[in-house]
Amino acid sequence: MTGMRGLSVFISDIRNCQNKEAERLRVDKELGNIRTCFKNEKVLTPYKKKKYVWKMLYIHMLGYDVDFGHMEAVSLISAPKYPEKQVGYIVTSCLLNENNDFLKLAINTVRNDIIGRNETFQCLALTLVGNIGGRDFSESLAPDVQKLLISSSCRPLVRKKAALCLLRLFRKNPDAVNVDGWADRMAQLLDERDIGVLTSSTSLLVALVSNNHEAYSSCLPKCVKILERLSRNQDVPQEYTYYGIPSPWLQVKAMRALQYFPTIEDPSTRKALFEVLQRILMGTDVVKNVNKNNASHAVLFEALSLVMHLDAEKEMMSQCVALLGKFISVREPNIRYLGLENMTRMLMITDVQDIIKKHQSQIITSLKDPDISIRRRALDLLYGMCDVSNAKDIVEELLQYLSTAEFSMREELSLKAAILAEKFAPDLSWYVDVILQLIDKAGDFVSDDIWFRVVQFVTNNEDLQPYAASKAREYLDKIAIHETMVKVSAYILGEYGHLLARQPGCSASELFNILHEKLPTVSTPTIPILLSTYAKLLMHTQPPDPELQKKIWAVFKKYESCIDVEIQQRAVEYFELSKKGAAFMDVLAEMPKFPERQSSLIKKAEDVEDTADQSAIKLRAQQQPSNALVLAEPQPVNGAPSPLKVPIVSGSTQDPDSVARSLSQPNGTIGNIDPQIPSPDLLSDLLGPLAIEAAPEAVSTDQHGPIGAEGVPEEVDGSAIVPVEEQTNSTELIGNIAERFHALCLKDSGVLYEDSHVQIGIKAEWRGHHGRLVLFMGNKNTSPLTSVQALILPPAHLKLDLSPVPDTIPPRAQVQSPLEVMNIRPSRDVAVLDFSYKFGTNMVNAKLRIPATLNKFLQPLQLTSEEFFPQWRALSGPPLKLQEVVRGVRPLALPEMANLFNSFHVTVCPGLDPNPNNLVASTTFYSESTGAMLCLARIETDPADRTQLRMTVGSGDPSLTFELKEFIKEQLITIPMGSRAIVPAAGSGPAQPVAQPPSPATLADDPGALLAGLL
Amino acid sequence: MIKAVMMMNTQGKPRLAKFYDYMPVEKQQELIRGVFSVLCSRPENVSNFLEIDSLFGPDSRLVYKHYATLYFVLVFDGSENELAMLDLIQVLVETLDKCFSNVCELDIVFNYSKMHAVLDEIVFGGQVLETSSAEVMKAVKEISKLEAASNSISLVPKSVSGWRGR
């Protein structure tokens, strides 16, 4: 440490560098110098080596890579003299990772130093092992380290290091400490007089009991003894008294160890401990000296935790709450902070909430503290303590604070306010008020979820509708309102504006005027909502107002040629529909009620909360008889609820074919839209201008249009076998059909179906847009299978040709049946094999999806950046390039996601995207209509939230782009073994392919069905 | 467990950084920068605690103390007591004060190797090793003596006490 002039000169050079660039040059020069010297061993004296190694460590701290010098640092460990050895040990423990191979080379030297007689060497070696020792060290050194720790001849300096070194070895390999032998030794160690050794030993104990408290139960009374010794008897040498407090660290550690034992059964130990705790709770005052305060309160807060853990008598608990109440109002910010934090933890204990509520005004004051750390704690506490009785006060405080809160907190704040308002609203109109205020004050931080939710409530509660409409109208009078406010008020006024008709300023034409003023200020996604609202306003004017009609038609006309497809389509359709009179009224009738479901907000919040908070909230939620707003059990209307839909463009999740089909139905009245464009489905568009989550339109889809992954009614897997006549008890399904199908989607051979009588295997070869599959049907029985039938139900985009299957499969025989596949155009629909046979008297029938999926017509293709980017840029936007934010993705690490992509032949091109959180991928798609077509994709992930990503897919064909995007989305969202429906594209066309799932949704209730009848 | 000890000046220049979980050098720099950017925006007379989950992952805590031109920072997990960690910073600073009699930033800059020696006597493998600055001073002085001895007369240091183990 002394006399290293070279190091000082270097440091001072670095200090004199004017900028980072100069520093880098100086560092590079030094690194070059060090490299040269390391190569030339002859001139390298031990002193020089030591100096260079220190310089390396300094350079490393500045942020430069010094990997080349690791070997030199490690080699110093075996130097004979102390100074070099010391440097070797210190620098190695700072630079190397426990798995570094050089460490293996040093393991013998380290061991020799530990078992040698030189205490200073022992200390150095223990420090290295304690800092970076891995499993290798643990296996070879644990017994030696234990010996040092319990040796009576070693100095405390060595033993305390041995204790912590053993802790490290135990962490790396729990077998390093043999429980049976060690428990007694551990208890003995706790009788140690030296406070340094005792502190380290207690740390070791904490690690051991956190793993297995039963084995160390003999240590429990010893911990209480330590506390008595320190706290009651003050039996501590002067140098371990810190600002008058007997070693606060040891007290804290001993109390921490006690918190790992579930209870204290021995009455005398319990009594002794409670005496100590009582003394700590009562005897701690806030004093002037900050350091003394910190020390005494470190002990006090640990005592509070222990009291909470031990579930003490009620009296002591209320004493604790009283103390916390005092803390949250003291001047000392650290104590305020911890007071709030511990109060939040205290919420988990029953019976104290009412006492905590008494401090509500003080907690609200803390929400205005200058320290953001304290404000966050106050927010957490308010959130946790909120219930029906105080929700109004708390939420209003949060709203007020929102206007002044810093940006970093606003999002959390508005989410929490929205959740509390929803969970504990005393009445619904208040809830509407809160959300509208939220949007007004912090529109940028109000996620779509929040305003979707308010729309759901208003739609589902008739009493609320006039109120919501008048509130929405009021906000429109403000000069500048947030775009989200435009969206929500336009939606509400479109639906319920007519309820206000008698009030001044609320006639349809007045509503139109004030809404239309906002139109020039809003962005593209809001315009379709406004258009829907205009159409609804027009529909509600009875008798018709020709003036208004003229204005609105003018707007529709204007957007008829809008570049945005969604806007254009709506303008065209609404214009045409509004000429139709009665049919128009039916189409634009009020939105049906939403199926009740758990709030996505609350779900989101539960996912986000950290564990302590979460358990507190859950506990509270269980205790709180909350209002009807929280809809505990989602009631699936038709199978499980579908995942969140993207609003506005909800229709675009439909199959493009449905456009053609639905367009052809209304007698070509709206035939001017090119049916080839994958534009949104007309039906769902009209029915659900705002598909919030799974709006009821999801129900309608399965009757009317081919089904995308989302609208699919889910079936129980077993029901894939539909017994034709009666339940065939003797046939047992083996394996899961859906799982088998999903596996075959990613590989080319395997079992498609198996039951107790028959096994169907499949083998496939794919070339371009052709595929050749062979079905292997094997009879597992000793008697023949008769009436064997295999029919292919092809979707529109595939041409399938199955060779005839013999009527009978002899016992133990296998028949092969080739199946030719040709892909005509891109689609995610799947062909179905309708397979049936007779065994004995039982007829068995299974509908099996054939794994001729979209990805089978993809061929892996890896592009370089020179190839990729020009193509990517050439695809300018929709409909050739589509982008979508996908939520609810099952979380995958990036490499896993890359593997997934590769597995369905969309090849990830590593390194092309400069952002490491993104993936770009390419593939070639083959079909008869498109030929070989290049497809590109880019996935942007958010490392902070793996459940959502943004996906952009492009190709030269709009329907291919759309289908591929949907395909990838399905792969990302579903866990590919789940229970997706067996039934594909149940179109309403003549080729009704497979058995419709018995749909629980009755036609009469279904607005989609009604509409179809009308058209 | 203590995850990291950092000292940096009020311009964000690291003066000492030790991580008790292995981190590659770039990650260390990122964390140092991240911590500094939060610290430098803190006003005076606020608490010594910071939420740091975004940098060090969930269940991590940070305490710091600001002395003249230096920040002393400890990052640790939920198994440690926050105020006890704050006290430990005080022990470190008081020890340095004794070492250099009225420590200032320059002492810390130019006694880089000694800083490591002092820190290693207080925090060991992410655990509190010694809390008495008198004891720390004793250990550090012993080390200095050994160095000086071997520098001048290159004597292999003799064992301090007889080994009677095994």
Ordered by start, the domain boundaries in chain A are: 1-95, 113-177, 737-852, 857-973
Here the contacts of A816-820 (C-beta below 8 Å, separation 24 or greater) are A816/A774, A816/A775, A816/A776, A816/A777, A817/A774, A817/A775, A817/A777, A817/A790, A818/A772, A818/A773, A818/A774, A818/A775, A819/A772, A819/A773, A819/A774, A819/A775, A819/A792, A819/A850, A820/A770, A820/A771, A820/A772, A820/A773
Question: Are B159 and A4 inside 8 Å of each other by CB?
Answer: no
Distance from CA of B121 to the nearest CA of A (A): 9
Question: Are A291 and B25 inside 8 Å of each other by CB?
Answer: no
Q: Enter the tokens of residue A893.
A: 């690490």
User: Nearest-CA neighbor of A802 among A760, A767, A741?
Assistant: A760
DSSP structural state of residue A5: H
What's the confidence (pLDDT) of residue B120? 95
Using a CB-CB cut-off of 8 Å, the residues of chain B touching A57 are 112, 116
Query: A153 CB near a chain B CB, below 8 Å?
Result: yes
- Tens of pLDDT, residues A63-107: 999 998 898 899 899 988 888 899 999 999 999 998 888 898 899
**Residues A543, A569 contacting (CB under 8 angstroms):** no
| B84-112 average pLDDT score | 93
User: Nearest-CA neighbor of A494 among A591, A577, A559?
Assistant: A591
Q: Which chain B residue has the Cα nearest residue A123?
A: B121
ipTM of the complex: 0.90
Residues 118-147 of A with CB under 8 A from B: 118-120, 127, 130-132, 147
The residue type at A384: G
Least CB–CB distance from B150: residue in A82, A130, A242: A82
Q: Give the residue ranges of DSSP H helices in A705-834.
A: 737-746
Q: Is A717 helix (H, G, I), strand (E, B) or coil?
A: helix
CA distances from A3 to A11, A57, A418, A658, B98 (A): 14, 17, 65, 84, 20
Give the DSSP per-residue string, chain B: -EEEEEEEETT--EEEEEESS---HHHHHHHHHHHHHHHTTPPSSS-SEEE-HHHH-TTEEEEEEEETTEEEEEEEETTS-HHHHHHHHHHHHHHHHHHHTS--HHHHHHTHHHHHHHHHHHEETTEE----HHHHHHHHHHHHHHHHHHHHH-PPPPPSS-----
Greatest alpha-carbon pair distance for chain A in Å reads: 106
Question: Are A333 and B46 inside 8 Å of each other by CB?
Answer: yes
Question: Are A334 and B128 inside 8 Å of each other by CB?
Answer: no
CATH number, domain A737-852: 2.60.40.1230
Backbone angles phi, psi at A800, to 5 degrees: -125, 140
Question: Are B87 and A203 inside 8 Å of each other by CB?
Answer: no
Question: Are B129 and A160 inside 8 Å of each other by CB?
Answer: yes
Residues with Cβ < 8 Å from A881, sequence gap 6 or more? A875, A952, A953, A954, A961
Residues 79-138 of B with CB under 8 A from A: 79, 81-84, 86-88, 90-91, 109-114, 116-117, 120, 124-125, 127-135
Please classify residue A234 by burial: count the beta carbons closer than 10 Å to its beta carbon, then call 0-12 exposed, 13-18 middle and 19+ buried.
Answer: exposed
User: Nearest-CA neighbor of A783 among A810, A760, A759, A806?
Assistant: A810
Using a CB-CB cut-off of 8 Å, the residues of chain A touching B150 are 81-83
Distance from CA of B104 to the nearest CA of A (A): 15
C-beta neighbour count of B154 within 10 angstroms: 11
Least CB–CB distance from A60: residue in B25, B59, B120: B25
Distance from CA of A144 to the nearest CA of B (A): 10
Query: A85 CB near a chain B CB, below 8 Å?
Result: no
Domain A857-973, CATH among 1.10.4080.10, 3.30.310.10, 1.20.1260.10, 3.20.20.370: 3.30.310.10
User: Nearest-CA neighbor of A221 among A280, A264, A277, A279?
Assistant: A264
- Tens of pLDDT, residues A501-537: 888 888 888 899 999 999 888 999 999 999 999 998 8
Question: Are B47 and A336 inside 8 Å of each other by CB?
Answer: yes
Residues 774-833 of A with CB under 8 A from B: none
C-beta neighbour count of A268 within 10 angstroms: 10
Q: Is A835 helix (H, G, I), strand (E, B) or coil?
A: strand
Question: Are B47 and A371 inside 8 Å of each other by CB?
Answer: yes
What's the confidence (pLDDT) of residue A450? 86
Distance from CA of B65 to the nearest CA of A (A): 11
**Residues A1002, A676 contacting (CB under 8 angstroms):** no
Q: Enter the tokens of residue B158.
A: 């003799």
User: Nearest-CA neighbor of A464 among A593, A586, A589?
Assistant: A593
Q: Enter the tokens of residue A884.
A: 């979508």
Distance from CA of A79 to the nearest CA of B (A): 11
Least CB–CB distance from A167: residue in B48, B127, B146: B127
Nearest-5° Cα angle at A142, A136 to A146: 165
What's the confidence (pLDDT) of residue A631? 33
Question: Are B161 and A334 inside 8 Å of each other by CB?
Answer: no
Question: Are A54 and B113 inside 8 Å of each other by CB?
Answer: yes
What's the confidence (pLDDT) of residue A656? 40
Distance from CA of B71 to the nearest CA of A (A): 16
Q: Which chain B residue has the Cα nearest residue A297?
A: B83
Least CB–CB distance from B125: residue in A118, A130, A256: A130
Query: A97 CB near a chain B CB, below 8 Å?
Result: yes
Distance from CA of A17 to the nearest CA of B (A): 13
Give me the torsion for CA of A627, A631, A633, A634, rounded to 10°. Answer: 170
Using a CB-CB cut-off of 8 Å, the residues of chain A touching B144 are 1-2
Distance from CA of B33 to the nearest CA of A (A): 11
**Calpha distance B9→A583 (Å, rounded):** 75
Q: Rounded to an integer, what is the distance from CA A862 to the centroid of its chain?
A: 30
Least CB–CB distance from A147: residue in B46, B161, B165: B165
Query: B164 CB near a chain A CB, below 8 Å?
Result: yes
Query: B162 CB near a chain A CB, below 8 Å?
Result: yes
Residues 66-85 of B with CB under 8 A from A: 79, 81-84
Residues in chain A where the model's pLDDT stays below 50: 1, 609-729, 976-1015
CA distances from A629 to A393, A554, A846 (A): 18, 41, 43
Question: Are B165 and A295 inside 8 Å of each other by CB?
Answer: no
Least CB–CB distance from A118: residue in B28, B130, B157: B157
Q: Is A146 helix (H, G, I), strand (E, B) or coil?
A: helix
Please classify residue A848 by burial: count the beta carbons closer than 10 Å to its beta carbon, then call 0-12 exposed, 13-18 middle and 19+ buried.
Answer: buried
| B42-49 average pLDDT score | 91
Greatest alpha-carbon pair distance for chain B in Å reads: 57
Q: Which chain A residue has the Cα nearest residue B45?
A: A333
Q: Which chain B residue has the Cα nearest residue A169?
A: B125
Question: Are A371 and B46 inside 8 Å of each other by CB?
Answer: yes
- Rg of chain A (C-alpha set): 36
Number of residue pairs across A and B with CB atoms under 8 Å? Answer: 212
Place B10 in a pLDDT band, splitting at 50, 70 and 90.
very high
**Calpha distance A997→A654 (Å, rounded):** 19
CA distances from A176 to A139, A144, A295, A780 (A): 7, 11, 34, 54
Q: Among all chains, which residue has been given the structure tokens 């949907």?
A: A966
Query: B25 CB near a chain A CB, below 8 Å?
Result: yes
Q: Which chain B residue has the Cα nearest residue A129?
A: B125
Least CB–CB distance from A247: residue in B86, B131, B144: B131
Distance from CA of A829 to the nearest CA of B (A): 43
What's the confidence (pLDDT) of residue A651? 36
Q: Which chain A residue has the Cα nearest residue B26?
A: A63
Using a CB-CB cut-off of 8 Å, the residues of chain B touching A165 are 124-125
Question: Are A249 and B154 inside 8 Å of each other by CB?
Answer: no
Q: Which chain A residue has the Cα nearest residue B33?
A: A63
Query: A371 CB near a chain B CB, below 8 Å?
Result: yes
**Calpha distance A354→A337 (Å, rounded):** 21
Using a CB-CB cut-off of 8 Å, the residues of chain B touching A298 are 81-84, 86-87
